[in-house]
Chain A
Amino acid sequence: EADIYQTPRYLVIGTGKKITLECSQTMGHDKMYWYQQDPGMELHLIHYSYGVNSTEKGDLSSESTVSRIRTEHFPLTLESARPSHTSQYLCASTGQGSLPLHFGNGTRLTVT
């Protein structure tokens, strides 16, 4: 099983709060990704990183931001959460070349 961890597993917060979703991997992977998935819907890429100090926006516009200061850590931050941010957020990583993508268990965020 892949070693990629997301915390918290579940989060319920009020509108306007600042939150950070954590993602860490112990495989030394250079490439890391954040996906957003609503129930029963497809995954949408919101951010990705190909290495330290490298971050890019994905295909789906998101008000969140990310940082990549260390190879193993790729946190996602929402400065002011809104009910429209309610969703499941999935972090993934992979190495160089044509290798499988490994996912964490996700963070299910509910903004009230």
Chain B
Amino acid sequence: KQEVTQIPAALSVPEGENLVLNCSFTDSAIYNLQWFRQDPGKGLTSLLLIQSSQREQTSGRLNASLDKSSGRSTLYIAASQPGDSATYLCAVKSSGDKLTFGTGTRLAVRP
């Protein structure tokens, strides 16, 4: 059974800092990995999707990498802003066409 872990559970940084969020998964037989952002009381917004054949994806200040063999992905946020404060979740798509979510990293960016 696929299990997804995100470390750290919570993170507080000053504005402008570069930061890395980590996601690890137990079964490397995945189709893709997706990073989401969730604001309090809201749904999830898709940030980046990495196919199993890819190593990384970039969108603006966000860069996600994937090392399938070691079961790890990182989300790099450059020059963090207070508006980046949210919970970030990763999810892996394995066999059966279903996603397994991590519990998320709660990020607070201090002005």
Chain A residues with a Cβ under 8 A of chain B: 2, 6, 31, 41-43, 45, 48, 50, 58-59, 88, 90, 92, 98-106, 108
Contacts and interface: CB of A to CB of B under 8 A. Distances in A.
Interface stretch (B16-24, B40-48, B60-68, B69-77): B40-48
B88 interface: no
A57 to B, nearest CB: 12
B110 interface: no
Given A98-B32, A98-B51, A98-B93, A104 B101 contact: no
Contacts of B97: 31, 50
Contacts of A50: 97
B103 A102 contact: no
A101 B98 CA distance: 10
Contact of B98 (A42, A48, A98, A103): A48
Interface of B: 31-32, 34, 36, 41-46, 49, 51, 89, 91, 93, 97-99, 101-104
A92 B43 CA distance: 9
B46 A101 contact: yes
Given A42-B104, A43-B101, A45-B98, A98 B46 contact: no
Contacts of B91: 101
Given A31-B97, A98-B31, 7 more contacts: A2-B46, A42-B104, A45-B98, A45-B99, A98-B51, A99-B49, A101-B34
A100 B51 CA distance: 10
A20 B39 CA distance: 25
Of the listed residues B44, B93, B102, the one surrounded by the most CB atoms of chain A closer than 10 A to its CB is: B44
B103 A41 contact: yes
Contact of A42 (B49, B51, B103): B103
